[in-house]
Amino acid sequence: MDNPQPEPYDLLGVGIGPFNLSLAALADQVSGLSSLFCEAREEFRWHPGMLVDGARMQVPFLADLVTLVDPTNPWSFLNYLRDRERLFPFYFAERFQLPRREYDHYCRWAAERLVNCRFGTAVTALHWSEEHELYRAETGRGEVWARNVVLGVGTRPGHPEAFAALRGHPRVWHSADYLDRRHSLDAARDITVVGSGQSGAEVFLDLLRTRGGDGTRLRWLTRTRALAPMEYSKLGLEHFTPDYTRYFQSLDPTVRDQLVEAQWQLHKAASAETLAEIHDHLYERTIGRPLDADPVEILPGTAVTEALAGPCGGFELSCRHVDSGAEHLVRTDAVVLATGYRAVRPAALDPIAELIDWDEHGRYRVDPDHRVATRPRLTGGLYVQNAELHTHGVGTPDLGLGAHRAAVILNAVAGKTIHRLPARTAWTSFAPPAATVLPRPQEGNRAAAATR
């Protein structure tokens, strides 16, 4: 007797961060398309360790779950304000960038109300059924079948190799845990923050505010040569448009990898406002005193080559100055690693790993629709969000492109245009002009003579 045909979803989302939540919000409005999004955690949480008081988003509020694709969608930020009776306070606040805590609250508002989001449901394994031509997902609540799968598992904190010997130490941890573990720094008299991105700047600023007057030495150390602000000019921001994404994907993979590293100021730097607040804080503290009166060190262009436990307690960081090559030793009591995040391959993919067409570096090959390349045997759509930096460029982790990417995936899954997307989104033309074949001088002369 044949196995019964399971009732599949059209779309199964694995993980519910902002990007898959955006896809869930857009899919919720599509009649006839069934979707389910599963998350292992019991509730939506967005970088809870970095919801520091005063921290603001680096994108405008229009970069919500849906507005840049469908401003009329009920899951917009403005509709959230209406539901919470905060439209007038927001109007008078005149804020283009939201407090980070408010963005988190908005996303939780949507996640708790979307019927296609299921929390406390981890997808532990994905299988491909050639018999049914469907995915079979194992979860803690039974099996789920689907025609298409979208991976939105997010990124994980990056720990530099230089700190491998201190992994798991209670006084060396990533900034992702900052609010939860800040109390562990209370007894430290020398604290080092590593990393010059927005997280590093916010952690250093928070320590200046909370520990600046108790004599604790605060050190901000980064291998980046300059504490330069994130690019925020209007034309510079056009790198975060679908136009640039299309251009980037047309480039040779080697060029793409080089560009991602070279464009650090587009996606890894701190905001000019946060850097200004740090400078203002130091300025105020040193009025009437020498600049070196406070035990504060800011050391750009300094790479940590090895970090070990010190013989008398604390830690010893072997450092090398990037420009001069000079080496020195830093002794500190605690380290906060603001060293970014890395895309990871979820263990749930292990059963179908051999059916995925990995590139030479073991990364996904991703097409313009964000579909992962697979072997011919796997005919179901496998899509990915925020793991395609190497194929789609600096806009990959940017919230401003989240709704657009979700719409692209939704259109591909539906096999038709659910959302009409703009053909052009930037003034800048990133690719060279199309080549034009000009006539040779003598050919031009003959052509002119023939008309006389």
The DSSP-derived string for 199-212 is HHHHHHHHHHHHHT
Span 302-315, mean pLDDT? 94
Q: Which fold is adopted by the domain 159-230+269-339?
A: FAD/NAD(P)-binding domain (3.50.50)
Whether 446 has a pLDDT exceeding 60, the answer reads: no
Of 419, 425, 415, 394, which Cα lies nearest the Cα of 406?
419
Res. 313 pLDDT band, cuts 50 70 90: confident
Q: List the beta bridge partners of residue 35.
A: 11
Whether 449 has a pLDDT exceeding 60, the answer reads: no
Amino acid found at 354: E
Amino acid found at 120: G
What homologous superfamily is domain 9-156+342-414 in, according to CATH?
A: FAD/NAD(P)-binding domain (3.50.50.60)
pLDDT tens digits, residue range 245-261?
A: 999 999 999 999 999 99
Amino acid found at 25: A
In this predicted structure, what is the pLDDT of residue 281? Answer: 93
Separation of alpha carbons 375 and 371, rounded Å: 13
Whether 405 has a pLDDT exceeding 80, the answer reads: yes
Strand pairing class (134-139; 334-337) = unpaired
- Reduced to 3 states (helix: H, G, I; strand: E, B; else coil), residue 341 is strand
pLDDT tens digits, residue range 348-368?
A: 999 999 999 999 999 999 999
Within a 10 A sphere around the Cβ of 236, how many other Cβ atoms?
Answer: 13
In this predicted structure, what is the pLDDT of residue 315? Answer: 97
pLDDT tens digits, residue range 277-289?
A: 999 999 998 899 8
Quote the mean pLDDT of the chain: 93
HSE (side-chain half, CA atoms, 13 Å) at 176: 13
* Alpha carbon separation from 262 to 193, 254, 257, 268, 334 (Å, rounded): 23, 13, 9, 11, 31
Span 159-182, mean pLDDT? 96
Please count the residues of the chain: 452
Tokens, residue 35: 């979707």
Separation of alpha carbons 385 and 77, rounded Å: 21
Asked, colleague to colleague, whether 9-156+342-414 and 159-230+269-339 share their fold, the answer is yes
pLDDT tens digits, residue range 42-95?
A: 999 999 999 998 899 999 999 999 999 999 999 999 999 999 999 999 999 999
In this predicted structure, what is the pLDDT of residue 297? Answer: 95
In this predicted structure, what is the pLDDT of residue 4? Answer: 65
Res. 169 pLDDT band, cuts 50 70 90: very high
Span 190-214, mean pLDDT? 94
Q: Domain boundaries in the chain? A: 9-156+342-414, 159-230+269-339
**CA dihedral in degrees (438, 440, 442, 444; nearest 10)?**
-10
pLDDT tens digits, residue range 93-139?
A: 999 999 999 999 999 999 999 999 999 999 999 999 999 999 999 99
Please spell the DSSP secondary structure of 120-150, one letter per residue. S--EEEEEEETTTTEEEEEETTEEEEESEEE
Whether 1 has a pLDDT exceeding 50, the answer reads: no
List, in sequence order, the alpha helices (H) in 348-440: 389-392, 402-414
Res. 438 pLDDT band, cuts 50 70 90: low
Distance of CA 337 to the CA centre of its chain: 17
- Reduced to 3 states (helix: H, G, I; strand: E, B; else coil), residue 402 is helix
3-state secondary structure 258-292: HHHHHCHHHHCCECHHHHHHHHHHHHHHCCCCCCC
3-state helix, strand, coil in the chain (%, to 5): 35, 25, 45
Whether 436 has a pLDDT exceeding 80, the answer reads: no
Of 384, 382, 420, 381, which Cα lies nearest the Cα of 404?
420
